Structure 1
Amino acid sequence: MIYKSHDAATPTAGRPRLLPWSNLDGNPCYLVTDDTGTGRLARLADDIEAVQLGMADDLLGHAVDLLGDDKATAPQLRYLAACLAEALHDVHRIARSRGARLPEPHSDEKSRDSVPDEGPGI
C-alpha cells in the first residue's frame, strides 16, 4: 500500500511529521517544523527512528536463528511473533512518516516514470 501526503500543494517542510511515538492515549503524535526540519525534537525523532530500525534488524537476525532451531518451544515462538509484530509496527510508522515527507514529483517526472523502459535490444 502506498501512502500519499495529505496535501500535494503543501511544501514538504510544512507538512506534519508523524513522530515515532504515541501520546498517553495511544494516538499518533505529529510535529510541524520549520523549513530545515533540523530542530531539537526532529533530531530526537530521527535518533529514536534509528534505534527502532536497529532493534528491528537485530530482532530479524534473532528470528532467523530461532526459526532454524528445531528445539524452539511454542512459547518462544509466540514471544518472537509478538516482538516481530511490534517491530513491524515501528518500521511501518517510520516508513509512513518518511514517505509523507517526500516531495511530490513534478508533472514531467511523473510522465517519465509512467513510460516503460524498453531495455537493451536482443
Structure 2
Amino acid sequence: MTAPNELRLLPWSGSDGKPCYLSTDDKTGYLSRLADNIESIQLGTATELLEHATDTLTDHDTDAEDLRLLAKELTGALRDVLRVATSRGHLLALSEAPHHS
C-alpha cells in the first residue's frame, strides 16, 4: 500500500476543483500512464501558447479582448504547468529519498 506522502498528484482536478491523487505502486498502470500522457499534452499546449503569446504581444493591432483571452489561456496553462511541476518534483523527491525495509 502507498503511504499518504507518496500519493501522486494527478494533472486534473475533481468536479469540485480539488486536487486528485493516485495511490499505486505500479508506475506503468493505466492511470499512471494516462497521467503521464496528459501531463505531456499540457506541457506541449503551454509551449504552443507561449509562442502564440509572443506573437500576439508583438502585434500592435491586438485589441483588448484578444489580450484578455490570451491572459485567460495563459492562466490556465500556467496552472497546469505548476501542477505538473509540483507532481514531478514530489515524485523526484520520493525517488531520491532513502527507502526503509
TM-score, structure 2 normalization:
0.86
Long gaps (5+) in structure 2: none
Greater Rg by CA: 1
State the SS of the aligned residue for 1:71.
coil
Separation (CA, whole Å) in 2 of partners of 1:40 and 1:105 = 25
User: After the TM superposition, which residues 1-122 of structure 1 pair with which residues of structure 2 at under 5 Å, given as runs?
Assistant: 15-34=6-25, 36-102=26-92, 103-104=95-96
> Could you tell me the percent identity over the aligned residues?
54
- 1:104 offset after TM fit, Å? 3.7
- 1:38 offset after TM fit, Å? 1.1
Q: What is the Cα-based RMSD across aligned positions, in Å?
A: 1.8
Q: Which amino acid aligns with 2:21?
A: Y
Separation (CA, whole Å) in 1 of partners of 2:22 and 2:72 = 29
Q: Which amino acid aligns with 1:84?
A: L
Higher helix proportion, which one?
A: 2
- 1:24 offset after TM fit, Å? 0.9
State the SS of the aligned residue for 2:11.
strand
- 1:32 offset after TM fit, Å? 1.3
Separation (CA, whole Å) in 2 of partners of 1:39 and 1:105 = 22
Q: Which runs of 4 or more aligned residues in structure 1 lie more than 4 Å from their structure 2 counterparts after TM superposition?
A: none
Separation (CA, whole Å) in 2 of partners of 1:46 and 1:38 = 10
